[in-house]
């Protein structure tokens, strides 16, 4: 009998701890998802916004989205020329047009990138659009050679000692 008064407070403490833990678990089950989501959603929402901005059809209105300045379609940054519609329709479906406009390659190089995307990234068969797209890319996003001096060939330089006097 003498043990009882000692045991009771201990039991109460254990019970309290169990209650707090249960409440915590309960709270997590109820609200945990939405709490985590609000953290996760922020960057996602921004990505989606960037995606929309990069891909057209944003809130800016149809007029803005079709503006062309100096031969460049403003919204996408793509050259506004033959094949533009097809390239915009095809090449901005998964990523921003920036990936296109920031790259330079020969026709073969572009073809390779398309094959790579078809093999690895789920790009579909482009069918009769492919030559149109390749012509466009090769014409407007070719390697820049004009107006840019060649890299120095260090090996070929004949060094000499400059002698004063
Ligand atoms: C089915 C989706 C899809 C479509 C459609 C698509 N791409 Fe891509 N593309 C990708 C993915 C995914 C990547 C890799 C993105 C990354 O690395 O962030 C990529 C990367 C690229 C790159 C960068 C390659 C590199 O070496 O870094 C270029 C250039 C490119 N795409 C051009 C195009 C062109 C041109 C078209 C239109 C013919 C096109 N893409 C259509 C999915 C696609």
Q: Are 51 and 109 within one domain?
A: no
Residue 145 lies in a domain: no
C-beta 93 within 6 A of ligand 1 = yes
Asked if pLDDT for residue 49 goes beyond 70, the answer is no
**Could you give the CA distance from residue 40 to residue 38 in angstroms, rounded to a whole number?**
6
Q: 51 alpha carbon to ligand 1 midpoint, in Å? A: 14
Q: CATH code at 121?
A: 1.10.760.10
Domain that holds residue 23: 1-55
- The count of structural domains within the chain is 2
**What does the buried/exposed string (b/e) look like for 34-43 if buried means 16 or more CB atoms within 10 Å of the residue's CB?**
eeeeeeeeee
**Could you give the CA distance from residue 63 to residue 67 in angstroms, rounded to a whole number?**
7
C-beta 97 within 6 A of ligand 1 = no
pLDDT (tens digit, 9 = 90+) per residue, 59-89? Answer: 456 677 889 999 999 999 999 999 999 999 9
Which residue has better confidence, 64 or 39? 64
Provide the sign of the torsion angle of the four alpha carbons 106, 110, 111, 116, taken in this order.
positive
Which residue has better confidence, 150 or 41? 150
Q: 47 alpha carbon to ligand 1 midpoint, in Å? A: 17
Asked if pLDDT for residue 43 goes beyond 60, the answer is no
Average pLDDT over residues 134-157: 81
Q: Name the DSSP class of 68.
A: E
Asked if pLDDT for residue 58 goes beyond 50, the answer is no
Percent of the chain with pLDDT over 70: 75
C-beta 79 within 6 A of ligand 1 = no
| Confidence class for position 4, pLDDT limits 50, 70, 90 | low
């Amino acid at each position: 009998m003498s043990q009882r008064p000692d045991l009771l407070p201990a039991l109460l403490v254990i019970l309290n701890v169990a209650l707090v833990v249960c409440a915590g678990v309960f709270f997590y089950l109820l609200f945990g998802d939405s709490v985590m989501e609000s953290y996760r959603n922020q960057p996602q929402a921004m990505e989606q916004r960037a995606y929309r901005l990069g891909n057209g059809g944003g809130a800016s209105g149809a007029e803005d989205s079709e503006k062309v300045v100096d031969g460049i379609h403003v919204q996408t940054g793509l050259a506004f020329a033959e094949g533009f519609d097809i390239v915009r329709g095809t090449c901005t479906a998964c990523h921003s047009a920036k990936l296109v406009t920031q790259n330079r390659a020969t026709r073969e190089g572009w073809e390779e990138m398309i094959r790579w995307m078809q093999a690895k990234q789920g790009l579909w068969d482009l069918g009769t659009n492919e030559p149109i797209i390749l012509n466009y890319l090769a014409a407007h996003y070719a390697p820049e050679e004009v107006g840019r001096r060649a890299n120095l060939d260090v090996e070929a330089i004949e060094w000499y000692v400059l002698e004063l006097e």
